[in-house]
Structure 1
Amino acid sequence: MIFSPRKDETEHRCIGLITDFGLSDPYVGQLKGILAKKAPNCRVVDISHDVAPFNVAQAGFFLAASYEHFPEDAVILAVVDPGVGTDRRIVCLQIGDRLLVAPDNGLLSIAMKQTWKDLRAFDLSRALEAPKKVSHTFHGRDIFAPLIAWLALGGKPENLGKEVDPAELVSHSWANPTITKGQAYGHVLHIDRFGNCVLNLEAGSLGKPESIRMVSPAGGTLAYVTTYADMPEGEPGLLEGSQGFLEIAVNQRSAAKRFGLSMGDTLELSWED
Structure 2
Amino acid sequence: MFKSKKESPPPCTIGLLTDFGLSDPYVGQMKAVFANKAPACKVVDITHGVAPFNVAQAGLFLTASYVHFPKDSVILSVVDPGVGTDRRIVGLKLDDRLLIAPDNGLLSLALKTAWANTIRAFDLSRAMDAPEKVSHTFHGRDVFAPLTAWLALGGNPAGLGGEIDPSDLLTQDWSQPAIKRNEATAHVLHIDRFGNCVLNLEAGDIGNPANLTLINPAGGPLAYVTTYADMPEGAPGLLEGSQGFLEIAVNQSSAARRFGLSMGDTINLTWDL
Pick the TM interval, shorter chain.
over 0.9
Aligned to 1:238: 238
Structure 1: which 5+ residue stretches go unaligned?
none
Please give the secondary structure, in 2, of the residue aligned with 1:32. helix
Is the 8 Å Cα contact of residues 16 and 45 (structure 2) preserved in structure 1? yes
The count of corresponding residues between Structure 1 and Structure 2 is: 272
* Residues 104 and 169, structure 1, Cα contact 8 Å, conserved in 2: yes
> Counterpart of 2:18?
19
* Distance in structure 2 (CA, Å) of the matches to 1:225 and 1:50: 29
Q: For the residues of structure 2 that align with 1:195 and 1:205, how far apart are their CA atoms?
A: 23
Q: What are the ranges of 5 or more consecutive residues in structure 2 without an aligned counterpart?
A: none
- How many angstroms apart in 2 are the aligned matches of 1:11 and 1:131? 26
| Higher mean C-alpha deviation, range 99-108 or range 131-140 | 131-140
Equivalent position of 1:74 in the other structure: 73
CA contact (8 A) 1:12 1:154 kept: no
SS in 2 for 1:141: helix
The aligned residue for residue 10 of structure 1 is 9
- Pairwise CA distance, 1:209: 1.5
Preserved CA contact (<8 Å) 1:188 1:263: yes
* Within-5 A mapping of 1:246-261: 246-261=246-261
Give the aligned partner of residue 158 of structure 2: 158
- Are 2:96 and 1:97 aligned? yes
Instruction: Name 1:126's counterpart in structure 2.
Output: 126
TM-superposed deviation, 1:58: 0.3
Does the CA contact (< 8 Å) of 2:188 and 2:263 recur in 1? yes
Q: 1:9 offset after TM fit, Å?
A: 4.3
Distance (Å, rounded) in 2 between the aligned partners of 1:197 and 1:56: 17
Secondary structure of the 1:205 match is helix
Which amino acid in structure 1 is aligned with residue 257 of structure 2? K
AA aligned to 2:143 is I
2: distance between equivalents of 1:186 and 1:72? 32
2-side partners of 1:145 and 1:218: how far apart?
45
Asked if residue 46 in structure 1 is aligned to residue 45 in structure 2, the reply is yes
Q: CA deviation at 1:219?
A: 2.7
- Aligned mates of 2:8, 2:160 — CA distance in 1: 17
Paired position in structure 2 for 1:109: 108
Conservation of the 8 A alpha-carbon contact between 1:249 and 1:255: yes
* C-alpha separation in 2, matches of 1:39 and 1:132: 17
CA distance in 2, matches of 1:179, 1:131: 48
CA contact (8 A) 2:9 2:40 kept: no
User: Is the CA contact 1:204–1:240 (under 8 Å) kept in the aligned structure 2?
Assistant: no
Identity of aligned residues (%): 69
